[in-house]
């Protein structure tokens, strides 16, 4: 076969291949889209504004959510979420479950450059509770950065429930749990009198607690970082790993 004949044959084959692809293109696109949609989403970026948000919004910076919990509920199980606070947040007198979710909360998008997270105390079933989350599973926890935390005053006479008097507690002593709590570039505001609460709990759970660039505003946080830990020597608490020499 001459060279011209070979070229003509190749051009014909190429034309057949293009025609076959064009006939299948829409079907291929649909199958690719279906495969992408079926793949589980493992990470989200969400925004929260307690003044201008709505929990029915998309969670974008243009359409922020109203509550921190509303954002956490949208984080995928066995996944993570970066949550940006566009305003100060007051946690309601509730405790929520945090199951197999890793949450990173950033406050530098707030007008002051550092959002405030204000906890609440409430009474339930004969005990005092701190607003926050009960961890559940092997991948549950918080990282807080550029977020100042203000603890509440409690003048009642009920004892604090030992697992739920921390912002991050553990769901049950009978469920295998590994939690992490990291905080950096933050101020901790603990009242001079009748202050209530801890940051995290090491009772009946494994806990990784990391801190960096933390300011104890009133000088009252000594011994209040991790509930259930040896504050003077954290290494005495076998289920606790921390980079701080004292808690």
From residue 132, give the alpha-carbon distance in Å to each of 40, 68, 145, 243: 27, 11, 17, 23
* Percent of the chain topping pLDDT 90: 66
The answer on 59 and 10 residing in a single domain is no
pLDDT tens, residue by residue, 193-203: 999 999 999 88
The count of domains in the chain is 2
pLDDT of res. 16: 74
Q: Is 70 exceeded by the pLDDT of residue 175?
A: no
In a domain, 93, yes or no: yes
pLDDT tens, residue by residue, 34-67: 654 555 678 999 999 999 999 999 999 999 999 9
The answer on 128 and 205 residing in a single domain is yes
Tell me how far apart the alpha carbons of residues 119 and 149 are, in angstroms, rounded to a whole number.
7
What pLDDT band is residue 6 in, cutting at 50, 70 and 90? low
The answer on 193 and 106 residing in a single domain is yes
The answer on 199 and 92 residing in a single domain is yes
Q: What is the pTM of this model?
A: 0.83
In a domain, 65, yes or no: yes
In a domain, 247, yes or no: no
pLDDT of res. 100: 87
Q: Evaluate whether 99 touches 77 at the Cβ level (below 8 Å).
A: yes
pLDDT tens, residue by residue, 152-166: 999 999 999 988 999
Cβ density class 129-139: b for 16+ within 10 Å, e for less: bbbbbbbbbeb
pLDDT tens, residue by residue, 81-111: 999 999 999 999 999 988 889 999 999 999 9
pLDDT of res. 30: 67
In a domain, 23, yes or no: yes
The answer on 15 and 101 residing in a single domain is no
pLDDT of res. 33: 66
Q: Is 90 exceeded by the pLDDT of residue 179?
A: no
What pLDDT band is residue 205 in, cutting at 50, 70 and 90? confident
pLDDT of res. 140: 83
The answer on 30 and 94 residing in a single domain is no
Cβ neighbours of residue 108 under 8 Å, at least 6 residues apart? Answer: 114, 115, 145, 146
pLDDT of res. 41: 76
pLDDT tens, residue by residue, 125-149: 999 999 999 987 777 889 999 999 9
pLDDT of res. 226: 94
Tell me how far apart the alpha carbons of residues 116 and 194 are, in angstroms, rounded to a whole number.
20
Q: Which domain holds residue 48?
A: 42-242
């Amino acid at each position: 076969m001459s060279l011209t004949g070979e070229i003509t044959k190749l051009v014909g084959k190429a034309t057949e291949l293009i025609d076959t692809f064009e006939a299948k293109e829409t079907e291929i696109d649909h199958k690719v889209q279906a495969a992408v949609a079926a793949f589980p989403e493992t990470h989200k970026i969400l925004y929260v504004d307690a003044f201008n948000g709505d929990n029915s919004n998309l969670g974008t910076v243009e359409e922020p959510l109203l509550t921190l919990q509303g954002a956490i509920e949208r984080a995928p199980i066995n996944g993570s979420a970066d949550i940006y606070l566009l305003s100060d947040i007051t946690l309601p007198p509730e405790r929520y479950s945090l199951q197999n979710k890793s949450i990173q909360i950033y406050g530098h998008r707030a007008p002051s450059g550092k959002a405030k997270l204000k906890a609440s105390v409430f009474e339930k079933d004969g005990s005092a509770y701190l607003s926050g989350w009960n961890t559940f599973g092997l991948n549950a926890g918080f990282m807080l950065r550029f977020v100042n935390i203000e603890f509440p005053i409690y003048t009642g006479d009920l004892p604090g429930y030992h697992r739920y008097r921390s912002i991050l507690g553990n769901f049950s002593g009978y469920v295998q749990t590994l939690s992490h709590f990291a905080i950096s570039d933050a101020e901790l505001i603990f009242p001079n009198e009748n202050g209530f609460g801890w940051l995290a709990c090491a009772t009946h759970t494994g806990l990784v607690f990391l801190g960096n660039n933390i300011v104890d505003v009133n000088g009252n946080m000594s011994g209040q970082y991790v509930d259930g830990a040896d504050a003077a020597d954290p290494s005495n608490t076998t289920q606790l790993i921390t980079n701080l020499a004292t808690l």
